[in-house]
Amino acid sequence: MDEPLLVIVGAADTGRAPMTAALLRRLLASHGHRWRVESAGVVGHDGDPAEPEARDALLTLGLDLDGHSARSLSAGLVADARLLIAVERGVARVVRTSFPTASVTTLGELAGRSRDIPDPFRMQMGAWLQYAREIEAMLLAGLPRLQTLLAGEAVPPATMPAPTATAPAAPPVETSARGAAVERITRLLAMAAELPAVVDWVAARRQIATDFGLIEQTLPPGDLARPYLAVLRATLNLCGEAPSAERLSMLRDAVARLREPLAASDLDRLSRELAAFA
Determine the pLDDT at residue 168: 40
Which of 88, 89, 91, 22 has its CA nearest to residue 54?
22
CA atoms within 13 A on the CB side of 128: 26
Instruction: Look at domain 5-153 and name its CATH class.
Output: alpha beta
Average pLDDT on 119-140 reads 88
Average pLDDT on 121-126 reads 82
Determine the pLDDT at residue 277: 66
Cα gap 41→16, rounded to integer Å? 10
Q: What residue type is assigned to position 149 of the chain?
A: L
Q: Locate the domains of the chain by residue range.
A: 5-153, 176-277
Please determine, for residue 165, whether its predicted confidence score (pLDDT) is greater than 50.
no
Which of 172, 276, 252, 251 has its CA nearest to residue 217?
172
Average pLDDT in the chain: 84
Provide, rounded to the nearest whole percent, the portion of the chain with pLDDT above 90.
40
Determine the pLDDT at residue 201: 87
Cα gap 95→107, rounded to integer Å? 14
Distances (CA, A) of 250 to 73, 123, 131, 188, 257: 44, 28, 30, 13, 11
Determine the pLDDT at residue 224: 82
Is there a contact between 273 and 254 (Cβ–Cβ < 8 Å)? Answer: yes
Higher pLDDT, 1 or 150: 150
What are the φ/ψ torsions at residue 6 (nearest 5 degrees)? -110, 130
Please determine, for residue 111, whether its predicted confidence score (pLDDT) is greater than 60.
yes
CB atoms within 10 A of CB 137: 13
Please determine, for residue 18, whether its predicted confidence score (pLDDT) is greater than 90.
yes
- Least confident segment among 30-44, 76-90, 95-109, 232-246: 232-246
Average pLDDT on 70-93 reads 94
Is there a contact between 70 and 46 (Cβ–Cβ < 8 Å)? Answer: yes
Q: What is the pLDDT of residues 135-161, one digit of tens each?
A: 999 999 999 999 888 775 433 333 333
| Most confident option among 33-37, 44-48, 222-226, 263-267 | 33-37
